[in-house]
């Protein structure tokens, strides 16, 4: 039998303190033994104080830091949690999770912090303003521009989470909000809140988090939502019915509070029409369906609920799945032989069994999973929330309705036949919007057809085949790099998706003004803003000394035919446009022989480089290169190079982005690009 750890009363961390909860209380029960483990308050002592604390303490503290500084804190936090993760595993087992399940929740959560940290430092500037795209010219003479920017909203992000991933569920929302500079008020689902509670304790004990940037509500939210306004957020994960209750909250509607919801999803997986019983894709499909049914006992919002298979293969698929499911050992996660633990609570077990009964009333037949003969290892079958994996067969998915709408949130999947790819896509889409769908095919034409017929109904589409089998992250794993969320029934929300997830917590504003003013706001020099062209040469200035707008205008250089031929023979690039007058003149883009674009870049470097050792440590690339006008022999080129943007990368060096324009003797731009150098911070 399990050794259970109990926690008495779980406090909330609000307004800078752990608060002693007051009556009335709610009981929290263990998934394995059904014993009461803890209790939580029905509502927080003072929800308004928490919101005010987030806005007046957490928000200013976070907004005083740059994206990079916030991202660096996330990295340190991830390291702390990584060192302490062994303390979270025993608690995770009490939620019913096997160690493999816990890996997804705990290690998956920590790795989400690492990914947002690294993306935040690589893809965002070391400042507090994010520029969305390039400046939009709004006047012919360049004196009036538009520029979209994102700034941190000065509100709080309320994160209401589901019970199934108490750590990952919290961290996947917390990480992007933190990088965005928005403090979080986390409200875990009561059933598994003791695990989130311990994780938050570790995060706060680390001393890394600015005051007010993370608060925790264990138990009900009370009147929290009444206090939110247009700068706040609610990000919800849970059932469609709770999402609907939250969305119709009068205060949230009246104050236009941004609400994002991730809800139920009847995710489908398709065995492609090209698969045969002896194909690699058939075997991969069977494995994935069983994995998705049994991981977290099927309590994953992304689990495969509907397995769509070619009509002719349905019996073979069912037989293969029955054989694999018969091998699954159900029981106490502390027993090493156990592959699937219990559901999170007796309430969940009741809900799942009721949902299966509803499906089997008329539309489906159960072809695996007899609850009465289920053997449970290391725990009492009735005290814990144990269920058998259950496989259903829906022979006529066209007339079925429940099979496409009822979500048993447990180890349950329904096999359905389809006639052809168009039919399969139509059945997939009958889920009315899902988080993820997958197609097991090795045929690109099948993949193209599913992407175009089903893409719009699903937040993520996984194509699985033999080529990616060894490295694929699988159907059910949301990744911090990719969008998690889906249309319609899935809630219509989006989370994560790399930097997209950070921007969800910020406000996009369209700025209008002169290049000088917009450049100053965005921390990026814009053409038309003042240039400082006096000596010294910009390459003689350290990162700290260099000011945006610092410019060099070079002398001219004439391009000769000998230069072009020399370059062609030296590099081997003897493309006819450089070597054959007649052929070049017949080309619609060229007047005759012209200089290589790369020759122009090389000559430009020769014109602007200051060669002696100095603060410029390395040239590491070009962005946004465009060759605008051909340069025939006899033309003269010159270069303007201007310091455009600076991003500190470490204590020793920083990245400088230079705006470069190569122009001809008539002052027409012939090439534009942005050059990147690494510069020493001090001389």
- Report the interface residues with ligand NAP, using CB under 6 A: 160-164, 187, 189-191, 220-221, 237-239, 242, 245-246, 262-265, 301, 407, 409, 435, 491
Q: In this structure, are residues 16 and 212 in contact, taking their beta carbons and an 8 Å threshold?
A: yes
Residue closer to ligand NAP by CB (options 168, 418) is 168
Q: What share of the chain is helix, strand, coil (3-state, %, to 5)?
A: 35, 25, 40
- Chain centre to alpha carbon of residue 207: 26
Distance between CA atoms of 351 and 409, rounded to whole angstroms?
8
Residue closer to ligand NAP by CB (options 242, 554) is 242
* Beta pairing partners, 68: none
Residue closer to ligand NAP by CB (options 159, 657) is 159
Instruction: Tell me which H or E stretch contains 485.
Output: none
175's CB contacts (< 8 A; 6+ apart) are 74, 112, 113, 115, 116, 117, 480, 501
Cβ 162 to ligand NAP, closest distance in Å? 4
468's CB contacts (< 8 A; 6+ apart) are none
In order of 78, 80, 141, 216, 279, the CA distances from 74 in angstroms are 6, 10, 44, 18, 44
Tokens 């996660």 correspond to 333
Closest to 124 in 3D by CA, of 495, 535, 501, 630: 501
* Beta pairing partners, 669: 663
| Closest residue to ligand NAP, based on beta-carbon distance | 238
Q: What tokens were used for 348? A: 């969940």
Cβ 526 to ligand NAP, closest distance in Å? 40
Q: In this structure, are residues 329 and 100 in contact, taking their beta carbons and an 8 Å threshold?
A: no
Closest to 191 in 3D by CA, of 36, 308, 416: 36
Between helix 193-205 and helix 168-180 the angle, nearest 10°, is 40
DSSP character at residue 534: P
562's CB contacts (< 8 A; 6+ apart) are none
Pairing of strands 36-41, 8-9: parallel
Cβ 260 to ligand NAP, closest distance in Å? 10
Cβ 32 to ligand NAP, closest distance in Å? 18
Cβ 329 to ligand NAP, closest distance in Å? 25
* Beta pairing partners, 627: 671
Residue closer to ligand NAP by CB (options 102, 671) is 102
Q: In this structure, are residues 342 and 384 in contact, taking their beta carbons and an 8 Å threshold?
A: yes
Q: In this structure, are residues 275 and 450 in contact, taking their beta carbons and an 8 Å threshold?
A: no
Residue closer to ligand NAP by CB (options 233, 282) is 233
Q: In this structure, are residues 441 and 414 in contact, taking their beta carbons and an 8 Å threshold?
A: no
Residue closer to ligand NAP by CB (options 243, 675) is 243
Cβ 437 to ligand NAP, closest distance in Å? 14
Cβ 74 to ligand NAP, closest distance in Å? 21
Residue closer to ligand NAP by CB (options 351, 565) is 351
In order of 562, 574, 603, 651, the CA distances from 571 in angstroms are 14, 8, 14, 39
Q: Which of 172, 262, 281, 292 is catalytic?
A: 262
Residue closer to ligand NAP by CB (options 41, 546) is 41
Residue closer to ligand NAP by CB (options 91, 446) is 91
Residue closer to ligand NAP by CB (options 496, 568) is 496
How many CB atoms are closer than 10 A to CB 273? 21
Provide DSSP, 387-418.
Answer: ---EEEE-S-TTT-SGGGT----SSEEEEEEE
Q: Which of 199, 218, 301, 364 is catalytic?
A: 301
Q: What tokens were used for 656? A: 């400088």
407 is catalytic: no
Cβ 199 to ligand NAP, closest distance in Å? 15
Q: In this structure, are residues 176 and 130 in contact, taking their beta carbons and an 8 Å threshold?
A: no
SS3 category, 633: coil
Distance between CA atoms of 87 and 102, rounded to whole angstroms?
12
> Burial of 583 by CB count in 10 Å (0-12 exposed, 13-18 middle, 19+ buried)?
middle
Distance between CA atoms of 438 and 292, rounded to whole angstroms?
12
Residue closer to ligand NAP by CB (options 319, 350) is 350
301 is catalytic: yes
- Chain centre to alpha carbon of residue 106: 17
Cβ 197 to ligand NAP, closest distance in Å? 13
Catalytic residue numbers read: 262, 301
């Amino acid at each position: 039998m399990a050794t259970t750890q109990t926690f008495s009363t779980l406090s909330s961390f609000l307004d800078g303190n752990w608060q002693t909860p007051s009556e009335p209380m709610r009981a929290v029960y263990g998934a394995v033994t059904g014993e009461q483990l803890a209790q939580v308050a029905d509502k927080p002592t003072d929800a308004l104080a928490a919101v005010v604390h987030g806005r007046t303490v957490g928000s200013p503290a976070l907004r005083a830091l740059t994206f990079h500084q916030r991202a660096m804190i996330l990295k340190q936090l991830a390291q702390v949690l990584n060192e302490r993760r062994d303390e979270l595993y025993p608690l995770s087992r009490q939620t019913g999770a096997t160690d493999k399940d816990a890996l997804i929740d705990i290690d998956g959560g920590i790795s989400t912090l690492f990914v947002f940290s690294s993306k935040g430092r690589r893809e965002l500037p070391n400042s507090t303003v994010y520029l969305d795209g390039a400046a939009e010219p709004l006047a012919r003479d360049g004196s009036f521009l538009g520029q979209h920017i994102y700034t941190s909203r000065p509100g709080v992000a309320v994160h209401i989470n589901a019970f199934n991933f108490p750590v990952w569920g919290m961290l996947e929302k917390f990480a992007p909000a933190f990088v965005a500079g928005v403090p979080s008020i986390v409200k875990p689902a009561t059933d598994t809140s003791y695990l989130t509670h311990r994780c938050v304790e570790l995060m706060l004990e680390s001393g890394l988090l600015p005051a007010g940037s993370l608060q925790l509500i264990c138990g009900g939210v009370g009147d929290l939502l009444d206090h939110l306004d247009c700068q706040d957020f609610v990000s919800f994960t849970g059932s469609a019915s709770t999402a609907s209750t939250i969305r119709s909250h009068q205060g949230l509607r009246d104050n236009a509070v941004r609400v994002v919801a991730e809800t139920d999803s009847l995710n489908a997986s398709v065995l492609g029409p090209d698969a045969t019983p002896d194909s690699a894709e058939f075997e991969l499909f069977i494995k994935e369906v069983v994995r998705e049914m049994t991981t977290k006992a099927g309590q994953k919002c992304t689990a495969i609920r509907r397995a769509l298979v070619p009509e002719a293969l349905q019996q073979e698929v069912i037989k293969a799945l029955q054989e694999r499911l018969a091998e699954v050992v159900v029981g106490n996660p502390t027993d090493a032989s156990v592959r699937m633990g219990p559901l999170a609570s007796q309430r969940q077990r009741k809900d799942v069994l009721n949902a299966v009964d509803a499906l089997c009333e008329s539309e489906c037949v159960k072809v695996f999973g007899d609850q009465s003969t289920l053997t449970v290892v290391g725990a009492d079958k009735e005290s814990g929330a144990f269920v058998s994996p259950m496989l259903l067969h829906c022979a006529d998915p066209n007339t079925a309705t429940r099979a496409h709408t009822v979500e048993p949130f447990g180890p349950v999947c329904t096999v359905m036949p389809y006639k052809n790819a168009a039919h399969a896509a139509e059945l997939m889409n009958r889920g009315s919007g899902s988080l993820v769908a997958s197609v097991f095919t090795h045929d690109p034409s099948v993949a193209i057809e599913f992407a175009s017929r089903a893409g719009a109904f699903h937040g993520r589409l996984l194509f699985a085949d033999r080529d990616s089998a060894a490295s694929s992250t699988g159907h059910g794993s949301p990744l911090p790099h990719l969008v998690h969320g889906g249309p319609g029934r899935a809630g219509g929300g989006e989370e994560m998706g790399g930097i997209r997830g950070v921007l969800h917590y910020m406000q996009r504003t369209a700025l209008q003004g002169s290049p000088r003013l917009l450049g100053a706001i965005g921390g990026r020099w814009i053409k038309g803003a003042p240039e400082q062209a006096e000596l010294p040469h910009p390459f003689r200035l350290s990162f700290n000394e260099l000011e945006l707008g610092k410019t060099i205008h070079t002398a001219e250089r004439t391009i000769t035919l000998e230069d072009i031929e020399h370059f062609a023979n030296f590099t081997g690039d003897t493309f006819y446009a450089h070597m054959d007058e007649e052929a070049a003149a017949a080309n619609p883009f060229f007047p005759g022989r012209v200089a290589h674009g790369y020759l122009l870049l090389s000559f430009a470097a020769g014109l602007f480089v200051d060669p002696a050792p100095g603060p410029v440590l390395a040239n590491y690339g070009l962005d946004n290169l465009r060759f605008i006008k051909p340069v025939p022999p006899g033309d003269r080129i010159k270069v303007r190079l201007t310091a455009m943007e600076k991003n500190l990368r470490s204590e020793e060096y920083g990245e400088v982005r230079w705006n470069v324009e190569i122009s001809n003797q008539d002052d027409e731009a012939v090439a534009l690009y942005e050059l990147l150098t690494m510069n020493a911070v001090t001389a």
